[in-house]
Each structure stands twice: as C-alpha cells, then as structure tokens.
Amino acid sequence: MQQGLTQALAELKKNHLKVTKQRRALLTYLLANQDHYHDVTLVDDYMRQQFPGMSHNTIYRNIKEFEEAGMVEQQVQGDHARVKYQCDFSHLHHHHFICQHCGKVTELKECPMDIFEAQLPGYQINGHRIELYGLCPDCQKLVAQ
C-alpha cells in the first residue's frame, strides 16, 4: 500500500494540489478500500472522525479535486454519490464489473465502443460509461451453497 500512497502523492503534486495531512488521510482511506465504491457520506464520516474540525465542504471539495485530477472515480445515481480510488493510472479510460452481492469492483481493460459506434452512423458520441453488474466468482459459490 505504501507504493500506492507514494504514487497518489506524486499525482497530487503533478496536478498542483498541495499535500496536506487531510489529503494524505483521505488517500490512505481510499487506497485501503480501492476495490469497492464507497458512499461519499461514509467517507465524509470517516474524515470528520479523523479531523473533527474539518468541514463537509472541504471533504467534498477534495473528492471533487481528486476526481478532476483523475485520482478517483465517482458513481452518481440520483443524489447518491459513491467514490473509489482510480484503478489504474496507465488505463484512465476503462469500465467496470461490479458484484451485486459483495460490491467488489473489477476493471475491464477493453472498451466495446466500436460496436456502439457502428450502430449509430452519423451520431456524435461525446462520452460513455459502461458498468456491468452480476456476481463475482466468490459470490457465485456462496449463492450456490
């Protein structure tokens, strides 16, 4: 995990974001839990336990800055936001399989956009996000028992 933190701190500096003890703690938390999305309110609760004087706005602003820097991925459904640490800085464009039982996130390396573009001649696609849902192998074994 130390290597991951070193890389995360380097990404902060690369994006002209100051390394503070709060940002270091937030990155450490996200790195320790990087294979799942986490409700932003739970991240906020954790940070406010660590730093009681820290405001909600500061926590949410840091998450937003991390997202803009490509350090975290955010998933928003209605007014419910979840966040996780970036899977792989060498593949910023990627998609996920998310286990509906345990919540584990697995990165997909390939992008199927060619298939969709072929079905939309003349259309301009400005972005996309693909998430597949189902059961991971471990949870399939649990459900089968």
pLDDT reported for residue 90 = 59
**Residue 90: inside a domain, yes or no?**
no
**pLDDT tens digits, 55-100:** 999 999 999 999 888 888 888 877 788 888 875 555 567 788 888 8
**pLDDT tens digits, 105-141:** 888 878 888 788 888 999 998 887 788 889 999 999 8
Q: Which residues are annotated as a binding site for Zn(2+)?
A: 99, 102, 136, 139
pLDDT reported for residue 142 = 85
Residues 30 and 69 in one domain: yes
Residues 80 and 119 in one domain: no
Residues 13 and 74 in one domain: yes
Range of the domain at 106: 95-144
Q: Which residues are annotated as a binding site for Fe cation?
A: 93, 128
Q: Which residues are annotated as a binding site?
A: 93, 99, 102, 128, 136, 139
CATH of the domain at 117: 3.30.1490.190
Return the closest-CA partner of residue 104 out of 76, 79, 140: 140
For residues 9 and 4, what is the distance between their CA atoms, to the nearest angstrom? 9
Mean pLDDT (the chain) is 86
pLDDT reported for residue 1 = 65
Residues 77 and 16 in one domain: yes
The whole-number average pLDDT for the span 28-43 is 90
